[in-house]
Amino acid sequence: MKFGIMTMQLGALIPSGASPQNAMAQIAQFDLSSLVRQLASHGFNPIELGGDLVMFMPHTFAPPSINKLGVLKKELGIDYTVHLPLWSVEPSTPLTPVRQGSLRAVIDMIHATQSLDPAAYVLHPYGALASEFYRMNIPDSARALILQVFQNAARDSVKTILAETGIASRKLAVETIEFPLEHLLALANEFDTSICFDTGHVLAGFAGGIDFWDALEKCLPRISHVHLHDCPAYTRTRKLGYGQDHQPLGKGDLDVGRFLNRLKAANFAGTIMFELTVAEALASMHAVKNF
């Protein structure tokens, strides 16, 4: 198995202690290919390109930057995945103008990076608004009705993304986020997408109070991509893990050996990505080698 890392490394993007003027200069001069080279030098492969960089650093996904990333891919023999934009993006909102704008941001990112032939495009099919309603203190019958409204909008969005980009449906990996797992599974099954199994999100209880291993078995036939990080298990603490996920391996309840062995037994051939800092990911790699 190959283990990659995300480019959303805040310390590399904006060094701590920088003055506002220096921070702005850093943002304007930031070279994504240099960061990718640095991450690859630690042995990480593939590298997950964070689409949210486009919000503050639009030049990072402009043609000159994409060309440099393509050259680097060949030079280093690395692969890429792309985490599609999620900040401000609402693919499941029933408010059509907002959803259309969100889709434009997602589709533009796919078009911008298609020449890199990413192994996967990771999508949060439900936005922050859907998660808010999911956790709202309302009667179960009302919640079920409202969640179906968000589900219908997410269906329309996935259908549009696939139609307008022409990417293979299995290249689109819908992520286990803060929305009921059964809805995500229904979405993936209907459009034959892959699933990005986020270990920390599932442990945290974001996909519902489902046992981690039960969730893994339900998703396993479609998992093409893994976001790997630790978290205390909701099934043990009975508390949603807000702020407790994205921990290095060994800091939560993930049985790393059991998890990787199950993937291996299922002939998993996808990508695994640490959603951690470089230091945390290197420490986690040590845990992987010694499980």
Q: In sequence order, which ranges of the chain are alpha helices (DSSP H)?
A: 10-13, 20-29, 32-41, 53-56, 63-76, 96-113, 128-134, 140-165, 181-191, 199-204, 212-219, 234-237, 256-265, 278-289
Beta strands 121-123 and 80-83: pairing type? parallel
* Three-class SS state of 82: strand
What average pLDDT does the segment 77-88 reach?
Answer: 98
What pLDDT was estimated at residue 65?
Answer: 98
Banded model confidence at residue 16, pLDDT cuts 50, 70, 90: confident
Model confidence band, residue 27 (pLDDT cutoffs 50, 70, 90): confident
pLDDT of residue 15 exceeding 80 = no
| Spatial contact of 146 and 129, defined as CB atoms under 8 Å apart | no
Give 117-153 pLDDT, tens digit per residue: 999 999 999 999 999 999 999 999 999 999 999 999 9
Interatomic CA distance for residues 173 and 59, integer angstroms? 25
Q: What does the pLDDT read at residue 32?
A: 97
Between 6-20, 22-36, 112-126, the lowest mean confidence (pLDDT) is in 6-20
Who's near 270: CB < 8 A, 6+ residues apart?
119, 120, 194, 223, 224, 225, 226
Spell out the residues 6+ positions from residue 144 whose beta carbon is closer than 8 angstroms to its own: none
Averaged pLDDT, 11-28: 80
Region 104-124: mean pLDDT is 98
CB contact set of 109 (below 8 Å; sequence gap of 6+): 51, 54, 61, 82, 84, 85
In this prediction, residues 251-263 reach a mean pLDDT of 97
pLDDT at position 72: 98
Is residue 230 within 8 A of residue 249, CB to CB? The reply is: yes
Residue 29 pLDDT more than 90? no
pLDDT of residue 291: 77
In the predicted model, is pLDDT for residue 18 greater than 80? no
Q: Tens digit of pLDDT for each residue in 166-209?
A: 999 999 999 999 999 999 999 999 999 999 999 999 999 999 98
pLDDT band with cut points at 50, 70 and 90 for residue 259: very high
**Sign of the CA dihedral 66, 70, 76, 79?**
positive
Angle between helices 96-113 and 140-165 (to 10 degrees): 40
The DSSP code sequence of 114-136 is GGG--S-EEE--S-HHHHHHHTS
Is residue 12 very low, low, confident or very high in pLDDT (cuts 50, 70, 90)? confident
Query: What is the structure's pLDDT at 290?
Result: 83
Percent of the chain exceeding pLDDT 90 equals 90
How many beta carbons lie within 10 A of that of residue 138, not counting itself? 12
Binned at pLDDT 50, 70 and 90, residue 22 comes out as confident
pLDDT tier at 61, thresholds 50, 70, 90: very high
Model confidence over 145-162: pLDDT tens digits?
999 999 999 999 999 999
pLDDT value of residue 98: 98
